Each structure stands twice: as C-alpha cells, then as structure tokens.
A and B are shown apart, each in its own frame.
Chain A
Amino acid sequence: MERSDFIRRIAGRLGREPLTIAPERDVTGPPDFYIESPYGEDVDVDRVDRFVTELKALGGETIVVPDNAGAASALRSLFDQLRPSSIITWDRSEFSGWDQDWLWDERGAVSWRLSGEKNHGSEGSPAVVAPDSTETASIAPSLGDLKKAAQGADIGITLADYAVANTGTLALITSPGRARSVSLLPTTHIALLRESQIVDRMGQVLDTFNTWTLSEVPSSIHFISGPSRSSDIENDLTIGVHGPVAVYVVLVRGV
C-alpha cells in the first residue's frame, strides 16, 4: 500500500485531512516532579555511589579509580583475573586522552574499524581475526570474518558516552570508530567512564539527542544495564544468554 493512501486512511478515520503541521501538545516527556527530583523528593544522592549500587544490583561491577593510571591498573588486574586470549575494542583514536596505548601495544587488542591501520599488537598474534581493513572503504568487510571473530572474543572494551545513575545504565552511541559488536559479542564487556559523564536520569541523555539534525542521527544507540539475563526457564534467573555474561565499568572519579 502507498504511504500517502495509508496516512490518508488514518486521517479519514480520525475525521479530517492529514495534518501538515505539528499538533499542539498539552504535555510532553516526564512530569515536572521527576525532572526536579529524579530520586524522589528531598533525596540527595551521590551520582557515583548511586550508579555503583544500581549496577551492582543488576549483576555488574564498578571499579572506581582516581585517574587514567588507576584505570590501567584496574584493567590489568581484570585481565589477570579473566585471562582473555582475545580482546576487541574500538578504534584507537577514540581512546585519546585515556592513556591506554598498552592495550594495543602490549595486549594485542584488536580495533574493529572498517579502514585504517589494523592496530595489531607488535608481539603475539591475537586470536581474533580482524576484518581485512586493506580493502577500500566502500566495500563491506567480509561478514564471515567478522562473525568468526565474534565467536572468539573474550573481552570487549568500550567507552561510555553517558551513564545514568538511577538505573545503573551505560549509553553507547555507535559511530565508525565505535562498532556495536564490541559491547555485545564478547563474553565480558568492560566500559571506561568518567564521573562527569554520569547523569541522574535517562532523560538527560535523551535531551542531548534533541540537538541532532537528521543527518547527525547515529545508526544505533545502546542503553545497557548490566549483563544479559533471562528468566524464561521456570522463572529462574540466568545471566548471559546472548549478550555478555559479565559487565565491568572502570570509573574515573573527579574528571
């Protein structure tokens, strides 16, 4: 059926011609009381504490560190614990300001990016096969390679664009350097986060989307709250059905 006929029929059922200008609204978005006090009236909350508590309740873990060096040690100790054979991550340039070059140089982290250098570590060969990035950008990478790589990745490292304190949620916005697979396919997802990126409620993240022009709208946005879960077998909670089994956030306080 044609779009115009479809829309015209809807308008006809509503007893008029299709509207061409935006209708007036009495209310939009959440009620004022929530915007004014997102944690409830007279409740004062430390955003970092709240985020840590909420994520913990969902089975995720936050490691609070004072600076980039602290973030590096937190990652190293996670690696010691998890013993990953493969680490995938976003484009190296996305991590500027984070001082984590060792991830690529020492640990052979693989950046998932369509074009540009492969970012392989200098020593040891990563278990993950990076999609062939020498092809021209207009040709899609081999999906087969990509999917094979997906099976082997133990850890995916990302950067959160925002975090929401009152639900323990990370917000990740996809872009060429920030592939969506990295937060989804590996067994463990580790996100780096700065305190200044934490907001009280989801609406404060959504507000920032209002400034986008249509051409700036990203292909995907992911709000992630803890590890994958299901209660489909006799109402019994199980963690890690399709998405990551574990979610860690390395949070730098004070920046």
Chain B
Amino acid sequence: MAHSTTKSKFIDRAAIAQGDDFLVNAVKFTTDRLRNRKSDSSTAFGNWEEWRERGRAIRAHTIAHLDYYLDQFAQNAASRGAYVHFANDTAEAQKIVLEIARKNKAKVVAKSKSMVSEEVHINHVLEDEGLECLETDLGEWIVQLAHETPSHIIIPAIHKTRGQIQVLFEKEGGEKLTDDTKTLAGFARRALRRKFELADIGMTGCNFGIAQTGSVVTFSNEGNARMVTTLPKTHIVMMGMERVIPNWDDLEVMTNLLPRSATGQKITVYVSALSGPRREDEIDGPEETHIIILDNGRSEQLGDPEFQDVLNCIRCGACLNVCPVYRQVGGHSYGSVYPGPIGAVITPLLQQDKKQWGELAYASTLCGACFEACPVKIPLHDMLVHLRRRYVEQNYTPLPEKLAFKGYAAAFSNAGAYKVAMKTGRWMQLKVLGNAVPESEMAKVTPVHGWTKYRTLPENGGKSFRDIWSSIAAEEVESPRTNETDGSENDFGA
C-alpha cells in the first residue's frame, strides 16, 4: 500500500512547518484548546479512568474476536440490503469504488470526512477517471480547495488563516466575501448545498459498525455526513476492518468516550446509524448502499502481542493534542494521513516501505502523554519503542548511529574501557563542548552537535564519582549515622 503524501524525511517536513509562524501558533492554540476541553469534560463526566478501562475492554475484546464480529456485521448489513465488499489493499479498494462509479455513471461524488478514503487515495483515483470528488466537511473542503492535506484529524484546516480561506472561497464562488466566520461559513453552506444536489454518490467513513444489526454509525457536527447519506442515489461507506463493535450497548460507551476525547463535547450534534439503503416505501436516503471493508496491512497486526492493541484506536485525535512533538511540528510533518503519535505507530505498521516510514517512530520523546490521553488506553509509547527496536533489527539505522552503539556496547561491557570512556567524555565536555555554557565553536563540528545546538550541558565538577569514591567511603566510616536513636519517628503527637 501507499498512503504517503511525500518522499522527503520527517526532519525536512518538520523544518518547513517550523518556518510557518501562523501554523506553529495555530497548532499550539488548537491543541491547547482541544486538550483543555477534553480535560474539563472528562473531569465533569466523572470516573474517567473506569470509562477508559471499559472502552479498552470492549475494543480489545472485539479485536481479539474480530473474525466473528466482522463476519456478523457483514452478514447483517447484507441482510439489510447493503452490498458488502472486502478490499485487501489500496488497489482493490480503488477498483471497487471505480466499478460502482462506472456502473452508476456517476459524475459527482460528495464525501464526508473519511480517513480510510484518504488512505487509499480515492479522490485522486476518481478525479483521474474524470469525476468531481468533493470534500464537504468545512475544514476538509478548505484543504481541498487549497490543494493541501489535513493537518489535524479533528480540525483539518487549522493551518489556514481566515484571510486565506476568504481568498479560496472568493476564487471558488466568483463573488466578493468578507473574512468573518459567519460570512465564510454561509458561503460554504450555499455552495455545498448546490453540490449535494448534484452528487450521484455520497461517500462516508464509519466511526463504528454495529455487528448486532450491521449498522454503520457516523459522528458529525456539521451534518454533512447526513447530507451525503440523504440526497445522493448511492452511498459508499469506506471502513477499516477494525471499526466494528459488538452491539448497541457498546455504542453508548463509545459515544461517551469519542466526542469528549476529540473535542470535549458530550456528544456530537449528529450521531446517525445507517442500516442498508432506504426501504422500498421510503422517500429519501440512498437507493443503493455499498460498504467497503479495508484490510491494507491491518490484519498483520493481529496476533502480534506488541501491536494488536493499535487496532483498538477510535480515531479521536486526543494523542495529537498532548504530544510534545505534534504540538511543535503539526500534522503535515508526518507525511501521512495519520499524524501524531497514532500516526507514528500505524504509518510504519501499515506501510510496506518500513525503511522510509520507520523513522516516524523517532518523532517522539517517549513521554507517554499519548497513552494517558488515549480513551481506550493504547500503549502507544511502548509501541514506539518496539518499532524502534525493529527498525534497528532490520539494519535501517544510519552507519554513524550503528558505530556509536557498537562503541557504547564495548565501553559498557568492560570495566577498563568504561573508565577510559568516562574520562574521555569528561575531557570532551570540559575542553571541547562547553561546560554549563552554550556550545563552543569546536562543538559545532562534533557528531553531538545535534544535541549541543539546543541544550547546555549540566555543570561538570571536573571529578567523577569514581574519583571521589574512596574519600566518601572514608568519611562514612568516621561519622556513622545515628538518627535512628533520636526518636524523631515518634513525633506524631501523643
């Protein structure tokens, strides 16, 4: 599969992002806002840890029995009149969509937000076929008009200013607008209403598939997911194979977790459950429903004790908002549909080119904030370490790094070599790199420049612990501790 958007390296993309002041500030502002709203709403809801544990248990159980629940979902959806397709990879998913489009002689496809459709590059494929493929989520539409990609899972266009949006909309509509939110959103409403009317196919993602009845559940605030499942003749659902949950009762748990974790809302404005096309005597809704269930590398995570849990993800984006790396570099730096910590884990897992994408596992400080934010408790920080280990085992690390770790191993496995290494290190800091001061001129040409450029080394006293050990030991013998006889432990009051 290939859902890459670029071939460059993370560090280069991050450097571009860092050069965009508006982006840097917008990412900080948005992630702070979402994080604080999540924190407030989960605290107000109460017992958040119990909810997380329940969410984890439901998702983990489903994934551990995915064959059963997915089959149940597919059969029940089919019994409600939906066509259910299984796509092994990007190529198969594209082929299925194209066949449906051709059969229906479709000209316009209206989409609500679907990350899976982006993963398999549906827009490009349909446009190459001569169809108009239209994003109808306000943020996704802005990004599409700018010929860019989303920078955040929940708020795709955080990197665009209202001024830029005004220009994009004026160009699209051929009318003069102002840059206030009401005017811009009003234009989007009018312009997209016309498009909904024209669309032959409506395409959505699937937040949860209810196995019990074969129902596709979508969460949206704007109502575009409802629009594209109400007006067009054909509805295509793009879903990752891991999206199912067993039953309606479980949906209540997911409804309590997902909006709170994503935006701090108690519930999104619309939660819709769609079960097949319109019934024979109904007036609106699609006449034909297709559900495309995608594997694309997901099944390889099943049965893998290190990574199976990543399939528990409910795509809330909470891990992005707390990640010290994402908060600095934004979504585009990850070069993939899935940014942030979850992207740093699933992109290398789903991509075939492990060498190119494995580097994303290094876009992390391993602080574990992602795990703490995750509503279904996915240990993303552990997975990032596992990914790094595999990256090294595959021999993908650059030569200087390999040599450095070889040297490290040699020094730490022999007392004499260790002593020499420590002495050399101390000497290097005092004489070359700079001791408790910003890096010296000489440090700039050393291999540790990447560190010393941003960090001042702590003060080095000039003597090592080993050097002074013998004198410490002598002091200890001369003045033994006597405080166990001073009765201080009993000072709790009588």
Contact = CB atoms under 8 A, between A and B. Distances in A.
Answer yes or no: do A and B interact.
yes
A195 B237 CA distance: 36
B282 A219 contact: yes
A25 B159 CA distance: 44
A137 interface: yes
A172 B407 CA distance: 68
A33 B65 CA distance: 27
Given A238-B182, A242-B223, A58 B282 contact: no
A30 B226 contact: no
B231 A150 contact: yes
A214 to B, nearest CB: 5
A241 B188 contact: yes
Interface residues of A, number: 91
Interface string A1-20: 11101111111011100110
A188 interface: no
Contacts of A244: 223
B230 interface: yes
Given A31-B54, A180-B230, A15 B303 contact: yes
Contacts of A29: 247, 249-250, 252-253
Contacts of A225: 266-270
Interface stretch (A61-69, A74-82, A95-103, A228-236): A228-236
A181 interface: yes
Contact of A220 (B76, B223, B272): B272
Contacts of B155: 231-232, 235
Q: Is the interface of A mostly helix, strand, loop or mixed?
A: loop
A223 B271 contact: yes
A112 interface: yes
Contacts, number: 276
B57 A27 contact: yes
Interface stretch (B84-92, B341-349, B377-385, B439-447): B84-92
Given A3-B74, A15-B303, A209-B248, A243 B30 contact: no
B193 A151 contact: yes
A30 to B, nearest CB: 5
Interface stretch (B133-141, B352-360, B393-401): B133-141
Nearest to A115: B281
B221 interface: yes
B284 A112 contact: yes
A201 interface: yes
A19 B67 contact: yes
Contacts of B122: none
A227 B269 contact: yes
Contacts of A15: 303
A203 B248 CA distance: 8
Given A10-B67, A180-B285, A151 B197 contact: yes
B29 A235 contact: yes
Nearest to B162: A234
B284 A167 contact: no
Contacts of B29: 235
B153 to A, nearest CB: 13
B247 A28 contact: yes
Given A22-B68, A214-B80, A227-B269, A30 B249 contact: yes
A2 B269 contact: no
Nearest to B221: A229
B460 interface: no
Interface in B214-242: 214-215, 221-224, 226-227, 229-231, 233, 241
B144 interface: no
Contact of B248 (A8, A34, A210): A210
Interface of A: 1-3, 5-11, 13-15, 18-19, 22-23, 25-31, 33-34, 40, 54, 58, 112-115, 131, 137-138, 140-141, 143, 146-148, 150-151, 166-167, 169, 174-176, 179-181, 184-185, 201-203, 206-207, 209-210, 212, 214, 217-238, 240-244
Given A3-B86, A23-B68, A232-B155, 10 more contacts: A13-B303, A14-B64, A22-B68, A140-B287, A146-B231, A148-B197, A167-B266, A184-B223, A228-B221, A242-B226
25 contacts: A1-B88, A3-B84, A9-B295, A14-B303, A15-B303, A23-B61, A29-B249, A58-B269, A114-B283, A115-B281, A147-B196, A150-B193, A174-B282, A206-B252, A207-B248, A207-B249, A218-B275, A219-B275, A220-B229, A222-B271, A228-B222, A232-B157, A233-B142, A243-B223, A243-B270
Interface of B: 26, 29-30, 33, 46-47, 50-51, 54, 57-58, 61, 64-68, 70-71, 74, 76, 79-80, 84, 86-88, 92, 136-139, 142, 155-158, 161-162, 165, 181-182, 184-185, 188-189, 192-193, 196-197, 212-215, 221-224, 226-227, 229-231, 233, 241, 246-253, 255-256, 263, 266-285, 287, 293, 295, 299-300, 302-303
